[in-house]
Structure 1
Amino acid sequence: MKGWVKWSLGGVGLAILLAAGAVVVGLELADDKMQRQVKVDVLPVAIAADATTLPRGKYLYDSRGCVDCHGANGAGREFINDGKGMRVAGPNISPGAGNVVLRYTPEDWVRTLRHGVKPDGRPVLIMPSEDYNRLTDEDLGALVAHVKALPPASGPAAVLELPLPVRVLYGFGAIRDAAQKIDHQLPPAKAVAEGVNPAHGAYVANMCIGCHGAGLSGGKIPGAPPDWAAASNLTPGEGSVMARYPDAAVFVAMLRSGKRPDGTAISVMPFESLRALNDVDAQALYVFLKTVPARAAGQH
């Protein structure tokens, strides 16, 4: 056999061995990350089930993404199943049999929702706590009050089946969990007056950062199935989709319908929640997005 053929075969073999070794290391790192302890000091919030708090909590639950993963009744639901090794389902959080929040203290709710950390100190892997980190104490308490007041429903624990490439990328840090993304030193957000203005729109826009990024410039959603479309650039920068929406009415119509102005359907977006946004929140979101700094698509 010619020398160059031997060298080529040897190189291929070495590359295979290195790749296999990288996979093994990545899986070990992923396991370590999933089991790591994240120390976060939290203070409890008031959880009051009264005539003002419960309707606000229901509105937040319906419009901020909770329903998409846990279902309207809180019993949990499957929301990713690509048939290729990725299957994810939210757990039962209603007061019914099998719920995972039965023994949650007020501090546990804050730690999980605001910081992406389970009561036992391990990171929450799928829930986008970065979207809820800036909830005010009042809104966080109202959201929890609604969940605790849901009618009991039976449901399973969470399902988290991730394909090997996703686990390896997570292990090497290419995919981060919420606890890695959140600045845990930030104090709770202060309430702003509701209205069609950028300040209130910025508060609403916190629900978008899990997919569109902290800078709202979009890009491939880390850890998502490979056939999912990239999140759109919501800034005025290169590759922005905002030019399609010349005014708030067109933008709000998209949130309500799940369709672009040309009638084509938008995939991936959580329209079950987005269409529940009231007019003030939806219009304020548009007003805010018109003020954000321009970034190229995917530039965080």
Structure 2
Amino acid sequence: MLKKILRVTGIVLGSIVVLAIGYYVKVCISVNNRHTKTYTVTPQVVNIPTDSASYALGGRLIKAKGCTDCHGDDMGGKNFIDDPALGLIVARNLTKGKGGLPQDYSTADWVLALKHGLDRDHKPLIIMPAHEYTMLSEQDMGSIIAYCQTLPNVDRELEESSIGPLGNILTDAGKIALFPAEAIDHNRTLTKEVVPAVTVAYGEYVAVACQGCHRKNMKGGEPVAPGFPVVADISSTGHPANWTDEQFIATLRTGKTPEGKVLNPKEMPWTMTKELTDVELKALHLYLKSI
């Protein structure tokens, strides 16, 4: 009797192991196919300005849009995520120093990365938030490219990104968006210019950078990744709707809310939002209160 129970138990456990292995193999094949997919895209021709005001705008935007949070203050790249389960996600060296971009990296290559989330071979970049950058105006994107094309060389060689077991499973289950290129309308043409003003429309333009965590409805919800907190509601039903413009601006520049909460910059990137102008922040607040 005991032998029969052990045999049945062994068969059941063996079946579970086989099914688990089969499932994970299926997951890996699916995620790899998505990662190696080649997109047929013709990058839009973007005018690259050369005036000092545009360079200054580009320098501010790489901070306000979170480029330096991932790629480092010198844009020389760093390990953005290094977790055995999730994987090694590397924000690459964006200068043309050793380990950085090739010397022939062109404006069209920059547009592929920023507007489409694709590398120069038209394959998806990992966790490159192009789903946000694709909504930039041509003026803003051009200013970012202009600034980045003049970055001082940084010699820093980094490993290639690799997806861990949990990263594969969460990606396949739709819990994390590892390939933002999948969510982009690649046929959309950039708006020429968006004029800054304290309006709901301009606030919506600024708020695109918030969608990655707070979702399109700004209601927040589930953590963006394992180990992170629940994402706050920042719409008209959240705390920010009760703040004055001055309190909202102070919160996004200091990381301290009117209620006395200290925001962890790794969870709420106020080190990024502090780079936004008063007009941008007031417009953002107006938009959030409208939804």
Confirm or deny a common fold (TM above 0.5). yes
Distance 1:54 1:65 in 2: 17
Aligned residues: 287
Distance 2:24 2:119 in 1: 27
Match of 1:131 in 2: 132
| Distance verdict in 2 for CA 1:101–1:263, change over 3 Å | farther
Q: Do the aligned partners of 1:33 and 1:171 also contact (CA within 8 Å) in 2?
A: no
| Distance verdict in 2 for CA 1:190–1:98, change over 3 Å | same
Distance 2:256 2:97 in 1: 36
| Distance verdict in 2 for CA 1:156–1:49, change over 3 Å | farther
Of 257, 260, 266 in structure 1, the residue corresponding to residue 257 of structure 2 is 260
Q: Do the aligned partners of 1:26 and 1:169 also contact (CA within 8 Å) in 2?
A: no
Other structure's SS at 1:153 match: coil
Alignment of 1:25-44 (within 5 A): 25-44=26-45
| Distance verdict in 2 for CA 1:8–1:242, change over 3 Å | farther
Q: Which moved more, 1:134-143 or 1:27-36?
A: 27-36
| Distance verdict in 2 for CA 1:8–1:259, change over 3 Å | farther
Match of 1:204 in 2: 206
Deviations 1:225-259 (Å, cap 9, x if unpaired)? x111233222235xx3435x422222211111123
2:195 is the alignment partner of 1:193: yes
Distance 1:85 1:178 in 2: 17
Match of 2:273 in 1: 274
Amino acid at match of 2:76: A
Q: Which moved more, 1:262-271 or 1:129-138?
A: 262-271
Distance 1:154 1:10 in 2: 55
Other structure's SS at 2:33 match: helix
User: What is the root-mean-square deviation in Å for CA atoms of aligned residues?
Assistant: 2.4
Amino acid at match of 1:229: P
Distance 1:82 1:69 in 2: 16
Q: Do the aligned partners of 1:192 and 1:200 also contact (CA within 8 Å) in 2?
A: yes
Distance 1:109 1:91 in 2: 13
Alignment of 1:160-199 (within 5 A): 160-171=161-172, 173-176=174-177, 177-199=179-201
Alignment of 1:99-248 (within 5 A): 99-100=100-101, 102-157=103-158, 159-171=160-172, 173-176=174-177, 177-222=179-224, 224=225, 226-237=226-237, 240-243=238-241, 245-248=242-245
Identical aligned residues as a percent = 30
Amino acid at match of 1:23: Y
| Distance verdict in 2 for CA 1:156–1:215, change over 3 Å | farther
Deviations 1:199-246 (Å, cap 9, x if unpaired)? 111111111122222333323355x3x111233222235xx3435x42
TM-score by length of 2: 0.88
2:69 is the alignment partner of 1:68: yes
Distance 1:250 1:87 in 2: 38
| Distance verdict in 2 for CA 1:215–1:280, change over 3 Å | same
Other structure's SS at 2:110 match: helix
Q: Do the aligned partners of 2:75 and 2:95 also contact (CA within 8 Å) in 1?
A: yes
Match of 1:286 in 2: 285
Q: Do the aligned partners of 1:49 and 1:146 also contact (CA within 8 Å) in 2?
A: no
Q: Unmatched 5+ residue regions in structure 1? A: 293-300
Q: How far did residue 11 of structure 1 move? A: 3.7
Distance 1:290 1:158 in 2: 43
Q: Do the aligned partners of 1:112 and 1:129 also contact (CA within 8 Å) in 2?
A: yes
Distance 1:85 1:170 in 2: 10
Deviations 1:111-133 (Å, cap 9, x if unpaired)? 11011111101101111111101
Q: Which moved more, 1:88-97 or 1:109-118?
A: 88-97
Q: Which moved more, 1:268-277 or 1:167-176?
A: 167-176
Q: Do the aligned partners of 1:234 and 1:289 also contact (CA within 8 Å) in 2?
A: yes
Distance 2:20 2:53 in 1: 57
| Distance verdict in 2 for CA 1:85–1:210, change over 3 Å | closer
| Distance verdict in 2 for CA 1:54–1:30, change over 3 Å | same
TM-score by length of 1: 0.86
Q: How far did residue 23 of structure 1 move? A: 0.8
Q: How far did residue 60 of structure 1 move? A: 0.8
Q: Which moved more, 1:124-133 or 1:11-20?
A: 11-20
Deviations 1:5-52 (Å, cap 9, x if unpaired)? 865664443233212210111112222211111122222211122222
Q: Do the aligned partners of 2:78 and 2:158 also contact (CA within 8 Å) in 1?
A: no
| Distance verdict in 2 for CA 1:78–1:275, change over 3 Å | farther
Deviations 1:118-161 (Å, cap 9, x if unpaired)? 11011011111111011111111100000111222222346524
